[in-house]
Amino acid sequence: MNVEAVIGLEIHVEMQTKSKMFSTAPVTYKADPNTAVVPLDLGHPGTMPVVNRQAIINAIQVCHALHLQIDSQLWFDRKNYFYPDLPKGYQITQNARPIGSDGWIEVMVENQPFKIRIERLHVEEDTAMQHHYEGFTLVDYNRAGIPLMEIVTKPDIRNGAQAAAFVEAIRQIVSFLKVSSGKMEEGSLRCDVNISVRPVGTETLGTKVEIKNLNSIANVQRAIDVEMLRQERSLIAGIPVQQETRRYDELKKETILMRKKTDAVDYKYFTEPNIVPISLSQDFISNAIHQSLALATTKRTRYQGELGLSEYDAIQLTQDVYVSEYFDQLTTLGNHYKLYANWLLGEIASYLNKANLGMLAFPIQPRYMALLMTMVAKGDLSNKQAKELFEIMVKNPGDPRLLAEKMNMLQISDEGYITQQVQEVLAANPQSIIDFQQGKDRAVGFLIGQIMKKTGGKVNPTLTNQILIKLLKSK
């Protein structure tokens, strides 16, 4: 029996707005518990929700990137249930009228394009955080009310690779639009998987299993792949798949039962009466879209096309929005695109990695970096010298030209000076001239060495080589 998996994903994206979705409390990371809250976040009686304009703009931008139809009115609903992390006893969400519906995205999976339809995108608020200890739980409301975007796909996905590509694409979209940091490891991007299997050729869906608490894109893929296998084996053995919620165990490399799915909870949705429906005019929507920062896909097209970089470089440069922005700034200061790419993906990446810093914390300003690159490109500095300067600049950012001069590093490219140095060395090493004329290549290397020694390594090696060969040939 040929079995296929039918997979849908539910992604929650935490928005990095300055204030919360419905309350004015600051959105913070790693603040002390209950120090980023206002009474609404604790569900105090008499408090009222007021919609955050920036959160809506963010949602519109993501809707646009995902080709979703954008509703012309904003309506909200209450999702009613009791849980300690839900201070009001209901969550304000969008059930009946999500801001975005019926979209799609095309992702590359093993170099083939694959289209995934998107059912909806809606905005809602996050819950508080619970910290579990031996015998008790503590609740921190800092996260309660932070704006969330929920993106739900149609069950078009068939395997882990496609799912991973989708989540990665979403990550790039939200991080490049700067609406979210998009980090699964930090919880600002969350992915729940709904997966069932069925014999190929059938239309009916099998029993759905939900996989939650995935903490990386790699684990999304792994979890799906093992779960597919588990369900397939079940089907073949004639054991019906149970409706369950499972989690992925990284060490065991299998999905583990969290809880059996009981009857679907009735959330008693009804229209939120404290938010009068808000008209989203065409102008408002267009402006929001217009304000969008460039997507990773757009940048890649430009990097490969206009800037002539390789596909590999383009992809690498667009993994992190701040890396690509740094690169973009360099490109306004010079045109040594390949050099910039090499350094960003090489020296700079390695430095940041060792120092455990993000691109935003990189201490060298683009203009100084650009100057350094120009010096390398022009041959004023060797690669080795540039790396030396780089090490100094990360500790003491400053103009590399001044630094190079202070350290006597500048390569000399004055042809007249070099010619003189070469002639002096030739005069002092007549045997080498004879060696060269007799075809001994080592002679050139030896002479270059001598010239470097004489000039303290400051002459432009390529130019020196050229001049030396020319003079040797003329002897």
- Interface residue list for another protein (CB under 8 A): 17-19, 24-27, 32-39, 42-56, 78, 80, 82-84, 87-90, 130-141, 259, 266, 268, 270-271, 273-278
The backbone torsions φ and ψ at residue 79, rounded to the nearest 5 degrees and listed phi first, read -110, 110
Least separation in angstroms between residue 230's CB and another protein is 22
Which C-beta is closer to another protein: that of 95 or that of 429? Answer: 95
Q: Which of 401, 338, 392 is nearest to 368 (CA)?
A: 401
For residue 27, the surrounding DSSP H or E stretch is none
Contact (CB, 8 A) for 17 and 180: no
Least separation in angstroms between residue 268's CB and another protein is 4
Which C-beta is closer to another protein: that of 134 or that of 185? Answer: 134
Continuous H helices in 143-270? 160-176, 217-236
The CA distance from 407 to 395, in Å, is 16
> Per-residue DSSP letters for 174-201?
HHHTTS----GGGTSEEEEEEEEEEETT
Least separation in angstroms between residue 116's CB and another protein is 30
- For tokens 């935490």, the residue is 14
CA distances 9 to 152, 164, 450, Å, are 6, 10, 66
Which C-beta is closer to another protein: that of 218 or that of 258? Answer: 258
Q: Which two tokens stand for residue 258?
A: 């969290």
Which C-beta is closer to another protein: that of 237 or that of 265? Answer: 265
Residues in the chain: 475
Least separation in angstroms between residue 205's CB and another protein is 21
Least separation in angstroms between residue 70's CB and another protein is 15
Question: Which residues have CB under 8 Å from 86's CB, separation 6+?
Answer: 127, 128
The CA distance from 189 to 182, in Å, is 5
CA distances 21 to 14, 17, 75, 100, Å, are 10, 8, 14, 17
Least separation in angstroms between residue 20's CB and another protein is 8
Least separation in angstroms between residue 33's CB and another protein is 5
Which C-beta is closer to another protein: that of 44 or that of 440? Answer: 44
Least separation in angstroms between residue 134's CB and another protein is 8
Which C-beta is closer to another protein: that of 28 or that of 69? Answer: 28
> Per-residue DSSP letters for 306-374?
TS---HHHHHHHTSSHHHHHHHHHHHHH-S-HHHHHHHIIIIIHHHHHHHT--GGG--S-HHHHHHHHH
Least separation in angstroms between residue 252's CB and another protein is 21
Which C-beta is closer to another protein: that of 48 or that of 251? Answer: 48
Considering only CA atoms, give the Rg of the chain: 30
Contact (CB, 8 A) for 465 and 431: no
Least separation in angstroms between residue 17's CB and another protein is 5
Which C-beta is closer to another protein: that of 21 or that of 118? Answer: 21
Which C-beta is closer to another protein: that of 54 or that of 101? Answer: 54
SS3 state of residue 233: helix
The CA distance from 392 to 398, in Å, is 9
Least separation in angstroms between residue 413's CB and another protein is 53
- For tokens 């975007």, the residue is 149
Q: Which two tokens stand for residue 58?
A: 């963010």
Angle at 392 between CA 388 and CA 394, to 5 degrees: 115
Which C-beta is closer to another protein: that of 20 or that of 299? Answer: 20
Which C-beta is closer to another protein: that of 122 or that of 299? Answer: 122
Least separation in angstroms between residue 250's CB and another protein is 22
Which C-beta is closer to another protein: that of 97 or that of 154? Answer: 97
